[in-house]
Amino acid sequence: MSSTATQRIKTAVVTGGAGAIGSRLVHRLLSDGAERVLVIDDLSSGYRWLLPKDDRVELLVKDVCDMRDVPAPADAPTVFHLAAFFANQNSVDHPLDDLHTNGRGTLTTLLWARARSAAAVVYASAGCSIAGHGIEAPIREDMPVSLHLDTPYQITKALGEFYCNYFGESLHTVRCRFFNSYGPGEVPGHYRNVIPNFIWRALTGQPLIITGTGDETRDFIFVDDLVDGLVRSATTPGARGDAINLGTGVQTRIGDLAEWVLAACQSKSRIEYAPRRAWDKSTHREANIDKAKSVLGLRPSVTVRAGLERTVAWFHGNREAIRAAAETERARSSTGGS
């Protein structure tokens, strides 16, 4: 990964910047020399301690659906819109909360960015959106949009893409379709992804639960590779108006993933199996990343096994904060929503 290929971003706004991916993006922007990074986050699934302690970073704790009093930075900001009600299962349980943040929040962010003459808006879309289930991997960006998506989250992630295109005449927008991100910064929890949950269970002697047979596959991209794709999307003129997959083009079996996590954690936890979740109809996921390579020059370089080692090291280094976050996530998932 190289930051030299991309021009420097001086002023950035990161919605959802206290989250798993957003906080890594903030670290990256600072190390690239950003002068100011404004984070807008209501801390509903993010954590202050994930953000770097740096005078150039300002956290505004607020709902992204109300940006009226967010000051305009002096320079045209580059906006990374990552705030979201995350993710599929959460949206099935709380569809109105999903629509609030992912629908209204995206529209509000785009309106704010247009009014402040933002240099670019990079939108965090999802590889699970758009094409729906039942399609052959690898997934290309030009596959037709499905009207039969499986969860409210997929619908609202697609909605955000419609809004980006609607504003495309007056704003430089790029729709990045993330595949499965993982790495330092993501805590375990009922609504979180498989990797932090496998690692936490392995480290605390609990069984790893595979929902399915273990033959299902996903395209896991290490968070810093994904963040490199976000920065390149904002600074590459040829990406303007485009949708770009951010994945690796490599499928990993969930059964293999579980074994690798046990090895990386030196854990004796068992692997157990449970039925697949009703909405989870995609057996195999893989991104076609030709466009990320040709338009952005992105070369995801971290293999899943190497990325797991780095993620497990982060868990060891932040064990008490992660334990507290796991408790917070447990409490959050047991409260009713709408």
Ligand X SMILES: NC(=O)c1ccc[n+]([C@@H]2O[C@H](COP(=O)([O-])OP(=O)(O)OC[C@H]3O[C@@H](n4cnc5c(N)ncnc54)[C@H](O)[C@@H]3O)[C@@H](O)[C@H]2O)c1
Is residue 82 within the footprint of ligand X (CB under 6 A)? yes
DSSP track, 149-216 = -SSHHHHHHHHHHHHHHHTTTTS-EEEEEE-EEESTTPPP-TTS-HHHHHHHHHHTTPPEEEES-S--
Is residue 63 within the footprint of ligand X (CB under 6 A)? yes
Select from 180, 252, 267, 282 the one that contacts ligand X (CB under 6 A).
180
Is residue 85 within the footprint of ligand X (CB under 6 A)? yes
* Closest by CA position to 153, among listed 117, 105, 114: 105
Select from 26, 28, 42, 257 the one that contacts ligand X (CB under 6 A).
42
Q: C-beta of 212: minimal distance to ligand X in Å? A: 18
Is position 153 annotated as part of the catalytic site?
yes
- The site that binds ligand X (CB under 6 A) totals a number of residues, namely 30
Is residue 64 within the footprint of ligand X (CB under 6 A)? yes
Question: Maximum Cα–Cα distance for the chain, whole Å?
Answer: 55
- CA pair distance 156, 132, nearest whole angstrom: 13
Select from 14, 70, 99, 124 the one that contacts ligand X (CB under 6 A).
124
Q: C-beta of 58: minimal distance to ligand X in Å? A: 14
Choices 29-37, 85-93, 203-211, 257-265 (CB under 6 A): range interacting with ligand X: 85-93
Q: C-beta of 21: minimal distance to ligand X in Å? A: 4
Q: C-beta of 86: minimal distance to ligand X in Å? A: 4
Say which amino acid occupies 72.
A
Select from 9, 10, 13, 19 the one that contacts ligand X (CB under 6 A).
19
Cα torsion angle, 58, 64, 69, 71, sign: positive
Tokens coding 334: 């047991």
Q: Can you tell me whether residue 325 is helix, strand or coil?
A: helix
96 near 135, Cβ under 8 Å?
no
Select from 20, 164, 194, 264 the one that contacts ligand X (CB under 6 A).
20
Select from 80, 86, 163, 315 the one that contacts ligand X (CB under 6 A).
86
- Report the run of H or E that residue 3 belongs to, with start and end: none
Is residue 44 within the footprint of ligand X (CB under 6 A)? yes
- CA pair distance 102, 85, nearest whole angstrom: 6
Is residue 43 within the footprint of ligand X (CB under 6 A)? yes
- Report the run of H or E that residue 226 belongs to, with start and end: helix 223-235
Tokens coding 254: 């969930």
Is residue 41 within the footprint of ligand X (CB under 6 A)? yes
Q: What is the 3-state secondary structure (H, E, C) of 102-122?
A: HHHHHHHHHHHHHHCCCCEEE
DSSP state letter for 123: E
Nearer to ligand X, 7 or 242 (CB): 242
Q: C-beta of 61: minimal distance to ligand X in Å? A: 8
Q: C-beta of 203: minimal distance to ligand X in Å? A: 20
Is residue 236 within the footprint of ligand X (CB under 6 A)? no
- Catalytic residue from among 47, 123, 153, 182: 153
Tokens coding 82: 């990552």
Q: C-beta of 277: minimal distance to ligand X in Å? A: 16
Q: Can you tell me whether residue 304 is helix, strand or coil?
A: helix
Nearer to ligand X, 129 or 267 (CB): 129
Is residue 57 within the footprint of ligand X (CB under 6 A)? no
**Residues in touch with ligand X (CB under 6 A):** 16, 18-22, 40-46, 63-65, 82-87, 101, 105, 124, 126, 178, 180-181, 193
Q: Which residues are catalytic, by number?
A: 153
